[in-house]
A and B are shown apart, each in its own frame.
Chain A
């Protein structure tokens, strides 16, 4: 399953850091962050609960870039 989320981040490098961080989270198969469109596209592993995975993604991103946010709906 793939889902796209709006994100808020200030610099391109920070967006790259978010992408790297999101990829390491368990349950995430792949993640791509576009700084230009301020969006994060996450591909989840089969059968995971994307809501709880995204919470982990957000905290992993906050860790590498304190000034970022992901809009989780």
Chain B
């Protein structure tokens, strides 16, 4: 609690005690009415003095219909009625108690909001305060990160946060990137590696040459984004603002009619107005009507949702996007780099029958032998295909020592075809189908999609090695999770050929795929998918931010993944996933849906309870005490409900 809040708390306690003492005293001894009024005025002014002042200032400045005004009129009205009717209708106790409960509710709200504000900022508190600048003579001095020019050398000790983006020039360590990516597995880094601000240095001292200014560094950009996100208001928030503008004057008008019209009609018909009864009903009406529950709980829910998402490495650039995310019906993926890793590697090794029996006779693995054979041919290649074969050998542990791949002689590159080499007296060819056609080899033509390296040894076809882009580990699970969470259609767009595209689409369980697209075609394709939307549903496009900025901005929601360090993607996207794990898309949807459900619960609950209480108040069933519940109670419950947005279960 801050000073202001503690002050209010003191006033609440003092006036509550006074109120209790006076109420008991009133019942024990008889106190003349004017004295009683004077006694009640003490706690009333202690607790409500500032409200009265604000109400007065508000009226003077033309701000009539605000909650201060409502409370002032309702409580003064109740007290005056108590004075006039000698305590039969309304009364001093009600008047003071309404003010007391109102202030208690306001205090609760203020503390709750302050606490969640603190929680969220603490989650996001990754802004480093100092950087250790290394001077030319090697001495270290602390400086404000803002003052450090690009190209400076800074040191980061274990346990500290990297303040500015840069390149490691000395030392090696492991980094905790969880503040940036939500991923808690540490990442190791050494000299020449680029590192991002916001990461925590876990083990060793490193020296960094800064490559950006502090304001342009990752940590500053993330914080700006989260702070600015609250400025982009959602439809629900705008609705409530507009609603409150109409609602409060309407309720005040209704209260006035309630106070005047029935007594006038009564006077005309029955000759007796029952003025006090109707005035107290009108005052009850005013207390119930306060729209605080909605006005506070809805932005709080969105803020909580955005805060919760950002702790999982999902940056949502505004409440409006969180809202749109929850309405997503179609998710369009870019293939390479989004669903697949965009890295080529060996996915299948298929020796031919003759090669298999030959190897079996020698007692060696036919797959490994084929791979080794191709590896020897590709040993000196700089081609990515050849490299992926060597990598596969390394991964399998088949390269025992530096001599493993020797033995190939007369290596000759046949342009556009492949490689010819002589290994252990055998002439070996490794290359594409054109090479096999040239050789007249009897090779397997029914291979799956991907890039194929055929191997031919001593004139006999030995088998093929399939090299393709591999799926990310979580792609399939992510699409399944999206489907389960109610996404109607998943679509994949790619520049690859149809056979590669359909295979990936089928394997991952996508509903639709479009292949052979140039970057410009992707925009057209998204346009036509946008035209096929049903009702209110939204279309989200997920890309890796490279070359797809136009599509990202064309879709209802552009989601850029693996965006750490890619400024263009961060600019173009509405939602930024800090790492490139597709499962986070499903998590983002989940968080948004949950947040919006809580928002709707609050809108419905608050309006429903208020409508009932207003109706009951108008016919005289609800008294001042129920009115206080309708105001303060509903607000407390709504605030507690919206705080739930802060927590996420994965």
Q: Do A and B come from one complex?
A: yes
Residues in chain A within 8 A of chain B (CB atoms): 4, 10-13, 16-17, 32, 34-39, 41, 63-64, 66-67
B66 contact set on A, CB distance < 8 A: 13, 17
Q: Is B54 an interface residue (CB 8 A)?
A: yes
Q: In the complex, what distance in Å separates the CA atom of A11 from the CA atom of B110?
A: 7
- Asked whether, in the complex, the Cβ of B117 is within 8 Å of the Cβ of A12, the reply is no
Q: Is B63 an interface residue (CB 8 A)?
A: yes
Among B296-304, B404-412, B421-429, the stretch that binds chain A is B296-304
B197 contact set on A, CB distance < 8 A: none
- Asked whether, in the complex, the Cβ of B230 is within 8 Å of the Cβ of A11, the reply is no
Q: Which of A13, A36, A39 has the most CB of B within 10 A?
A: A36
- Asked whether, in the complex, the Cβ of B295 is within 8 Å of the Cβ of A13, the reply is yes
B228 contact set on A, CB distance < 8 A: 41
From known contacts A13-B67, A13-B244, infer whether A36 and B295 are also in contact, taking CB-CB under 8 Å. no
B244 contact set on A, CB distance < 8 A: 13, 16
- Asked whether, in the complex, the Cβ of A16 is within 8 Å of the Cβ of B295, the reply is yes
A16 contact set on B, CB distance < 8 A: 241, 244, 295
Q: In the complex, what distance in Å separates the CA atom of A39 from the CA atom of B228?
A: 9
A35 contact set on B, CB distance < 8 A: 113, 296, 299
Task: Enumerate 24 A-B pairs (CB-CB under 8 Å) in ascending A order.
Answer: A4-B227, A10-B4, A10-B106, A11-B67, A11-B110, A11-B295, A12-B295, A12-B296, A12-B299, A13-B67, A17-B63, A32-B233, A35-B296, A36-B113, A36-B230, A36-B300, A36-B303, A37-B117, A39-B230, A63-B61, A64-B58, A64-B61, A66-B54, A66-B57
Within 8 A of A (CB), among B97-146: 106, 109-110, 113, 117, 120
Q: Is B316 an interface residue (CB 8 A)?
A: no
Q: Is B84 an interface residue (CB 8 A)?
A: no
B4 contact set on A, CB distance < 8 A: 10
- Shortest C-beta distance, B275 to chain A (Å), equals 32
Within 8 A of A (CB), among B353-369: none
Q: Which of A12, A13, A39, A67 has the most CB of B within 10 A?
A: A12
A34 contact set on B, CB distance < 8 A: 230-231, 299
- Asked whether, in the complex, the Cβ of B227 is within 8 Å of the Cβ of A37, the reply is yes
- Asked whether, in the complex, the Cβ of B117 is within 8 Å of the Cβ of A13, the reply is no
- Asked whether, in the complex, the Cβ of A41 is within 8 Å of the Cβ of B231, the reply is yes
- Asked whether, in the complex, the Cβ of A32 is within 8 Å of the Cβ of B231, the reply is yes
**Closest chain A residue to B107, Cβ basis:** A10
- Shortest C-beta distance, B408 to chain A (Å), equals 64
Q: In the complex, what distance in Å separates the CA atom of A27 from the CA atom of B610?
A: 40
A32 contact set on B, CB distance < 8 A: 231, 233
Q: In the complex, what distance in Å separates the CA atom of A37 from the CA atom of B224?
A: 11
Q: In the complex, what distance in Å separates the CA atom of A17 from the CA atom of B228?
A: 20
From known contacts A13-B66, A63-B61, infer whether A38 and B109 are also in contact, taking CB-CB under 8 Å. no
**Closest chain B residue to A35, Cβ basis:** B299
Q: In the complex, what distance in Å separates the CA atom of A30 from the CA atom of B58?
A: 24
B110 contact set on A, CB distance < 8 A: 10-11
From known contacts A11-B106, A41-B231, infer whether A36 and B57 are also in contact, taking CB-CB under 8 Å. no
Q: Which secondary structure dominates where chain A touches chain B?
A: mixed
- Asked whether, in the complex, the Cβ of A11 is within 8 Å of the Cβ of B54, the reply is no
Q: Is B162 an interface residue (CB 8 A)?
A: no
A64 contact set on B, CB distance < 8 A: 58, 61, 63
Q: Is B292 an interface residue (CB 8 A)?
A: yes
A13 contact set on B, CB distance < 8 A: 66-67, 244, 291-292, 295-296
A36 contact set on B, CB distance < 8 A: 113, 117, 120, 230, 299-300, 302-303
Q: In the complex, what distance in Å separates the CA atom of A30 from the CA atom of B87?
A: 51
- Shortest C-beta distance, B638 to chain A (Å), equals 12
From known contacts A36-B117, A36-B300, A36-B303, infer whether A11 and B292 are also in contact, taking CB-CB under 8 Å. yes
A10 contact set on B, CB distance < 8 A: 4, 106, 110
**Closest chain A residue to B241, Cβ basis:** A16
Interface string of B29-53 (1 = CB under 8 A from A): 0000000000000000000001001
- Asked whether, in the complex, the Cβ of A11 is within 8 Å of the Cβ of B63, the reply is no
B291 contact set on A, CB distance < 8 A: 13
- Shortest C-beta distance, B467 to chain A (Å), equals 50
- Asked whether, in the complex, the Cβ of B61 is within 8 Å of the Cβ of A11, the reply is no
Q: In the complex, what distance in Å separates the CA atom of A40 from the CA atom of B295?
A: 18
- Asked whether, in the complex, the Cβ of B296 is within 8 Å of the Cβ of A11, the reply is yes
**Closest chain A residue to B116, Cβ basis:** A36
Q: In the complex, what distance in Å separates the CA atom of A35 from the CA atom of B58?
A: 20
- Shortest C-beta distance, A56 to chain B (Å), equals 15
B233 contact set on A, CB distance < 8 A: 32
Which of B54, B67, B120, B302 interacts with A67 by CB under 8 Å? B54
Q: In the complex, what distance in Å separates the CA atom of A65 from the CA atom of B173?
A: 53
B296 contact set on A, CB distance < 8 A: 11-13, 35
- Shortest C-beta distance, B340 to chain A (Å), equals 38
A37 contact set on B, CB distance < 8 A: 117, 227, 230, 303
B230 contact set on A, CB distance < 8 A: 34, 36-37, 39
B106 contact set on A, CB distance < 8 A: 10-11
Q: In the complex, what distance in Å separates the CA atom of A7 from the CA atom of B233?
A: 18
**Closest chain B residue to A60, Cβ basis:** B61
A41 contact set on B, CB distance < 8 A: 228, 231
B54 contact set on A, CB distance < 8 A: 66-67
The 3 closest A-B pairs by CB, nearest first: A34-B230, A36-B303, A12-B296
**Closest chain B residue to A41, Cβ basis:** B231
